[in-house]
Amino acid sequence: MLNRFFELLPVLDTDDDELAELLPSPAAKRRLKDLLGELKDVESVSKALQGSDVSLLDVRVWFDALIAKMESYSNYLAPTAEIVHSPDFESGCVQVLKGQGQRLTRSEKSALEAFRVIPAAQAAHVGDDAETGGSFVERLQKRRRLEQHQPAY
């Protein structure tokens, strides 16, 4: 509707008194123009959300940018908004997608535990410490190498 108004505005006869009474004031037109720009931003995010290659990290970046433009959006789009089913899961996914899996909080790790991938080398050696014929130092070094690998989700 706003878009159509601004498309028709140049061809409207503003000299017509009856029509001029119905048109918004110049200040109102500026506010409407700002609103149109804001709505176009929201529309572009809405359309981008429908893409097939969108990650949760992309969504978080877009939502945070909208919140930065209009703080009132935080009631609906913030990571802790009422509509978010599992804030720990969402923030944990975003951290992992950023490559910051080592910074996960305890609650984020708990929410993502079902998706944790155990590296093949570690999975093959789980519980092998007692069976390994190597020295105590070799077993400790092996355990330390395995613990250095960051968990993958």
DSSP string, 42-82: HHHHHHHTT-TT--HHHHHHHHHHHHHH-GGGHHHHSTT-T
Return the higher-pLDDT residue of 45 and 138: 45
CA-wise closest residue to 95 among 142, 57, 147: 57
Q: Fill in the amino acid letter for 89.
A: F
Structural domain spans, the chain: 1-48, 53-114, 116-153
pLDDT at 134: 76
From residue 136, give the alpha-carbon distance in Å to each of 122, 127, 129, 133, 145. Answer: 18, 15, 9, 9, 14
pLDDT at 145 over 80: no
pLDDT at 137: 79
pLDDT at 130 over 60: no
Residues 56-109 pLDDT 10s: 999 999 999 999 999 999 999 999 999 999 999 999 999 999 988 889 999 999
Q: What CA–CA distance (Å, rounded) separates 33 from 7? A: 12
What SS3 class is residue 2?
A: helix
Q: Fill in the amino acid letter for 13.
A: D
Residues 14-63 pLDDT 10s: 788 888 888 888 899 999 999 999 999 999 999 999 999 999 999 999 99
Q: What CA–CA distance (Å, rounded) separates 137 from 139? A: 5
